[in-house]
């Protein structure tokens, strides 16, 4: 499993406890290292939302887009309802507010591990998403994305072939609960499409009229 937490003391305590439970734990202190450490074999991810280089929810989106489908449990100091929802919209499976009891973390991880699948069906094919810089690249070509563009693209790529509903995309793209006009979503998707083309990638986003959007294999 992968434990991503920038608070050294907390990370050490949690890692030790999980290892005592027999889990094979890899640790990371920031989003960049987390992305580099996760593989398709990762069985479960414990992911702090407040990381020094990126929002944990963006890291989760980037993991999903890369085909890492392990269940994700978010850790956060905050307890706002919209953040909880945004965590789920980002592809998270569970949520624990700090401070928490190790026994509760362990109990929740057991549930997630039972559900864990290691199948991967990434539609990235060459695309790389950087959650720290919110950048999209293909080979040498890079296009900067706004945080919202990044979240929308990653939310779509993380669920290949599946229709992601407009409501889910609004929640993923605007995690802080901002009220945005329906048309705004379409405008942002149009911008994401332009950026895909700009770096020489194919437009792999299909419109499903009245329902949402779907990422398909290029
Ligand atoms: Ca933190």
User: How does pLDDT run across 38-90, given as a tens digit for each residue?
Assistant: 988 898 999 999 999 999 999 999 998 888 888 999 998 766 666 677 777 77
Q: How far is the CA of 196 from the centre of ligand 1 (A)?
A: 32
What is the enclosing helix (H) or strand (E) of 45? strand 45-48
Q: How far is the CA of 194 from the centre of ligand 1 (A)?
A: 34
Residues 90-104: tens digit of each pLDDT = 778 898 988 899 999
d(C-alpha 16, C-alpha 21), whole Å: 9
d(C-alpha 158, C-alpha 147), whole Å: 16
What confidence tier does 141 reach under pLDDT thresholds 50, 70, 90? Answer: very high
Q: How far is the CA of 35 from the centre of ligand 1 (A)?
A: 16
d(C-alpha 19, C-alpha 169), whole Å: 37
Q: Is 197 left (phi over 0), alpha (psi -120 to 50) or beta?
A: alpha
Please, what are the domains in the chain? 2-115 (3.40.50.2300), 124-216 (1.10.10.10)
């Amino acid at each position: 499993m992968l434990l991503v937490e920038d608070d050294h003391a907390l990370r050490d305590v949690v890692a030790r406890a999980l290892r005592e439970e027999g889990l094979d734990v890899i640790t990371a202190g920031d989003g960049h290292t987390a992305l580099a450490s996760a593989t398709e074999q990762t069985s479960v991810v414990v992911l702090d939302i407040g990381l020094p280089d990126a929002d944990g929810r963006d890291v989760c989106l980037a993991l999903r887009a890369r085909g890492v489908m392990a269940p994700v449990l978010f850790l956060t100091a905050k307890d706002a309802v919209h953040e909880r929802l945004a965590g789920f919209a980002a592809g998270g499976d569970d949520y624990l507010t700090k401070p928490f009891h190790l026994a509760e973390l362990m109990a929740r991880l057991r549930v997630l591990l039972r559900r864990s699948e290691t199948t991967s069906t990434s539609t990235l094919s060459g695309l790389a998403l950087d959650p720290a810089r919110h950048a999209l690249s293909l080979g040498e070509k890079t296009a900067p994305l706004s945080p919202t563009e990044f979240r929308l693209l990653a939310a779509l790529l993380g669920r290949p072939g599946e229709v992601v509903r407009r409501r889910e995309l609004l929640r993923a793209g605007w995690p802080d609960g901002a009220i945005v006009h329906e048309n705004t979503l379409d405008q942002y998707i149009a911008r994401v499409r332009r950026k895909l083309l700009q770096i020489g990638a194919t437009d792999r986003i299909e419109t499903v009229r009245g329902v949402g959007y779907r990422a398909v294999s290029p």
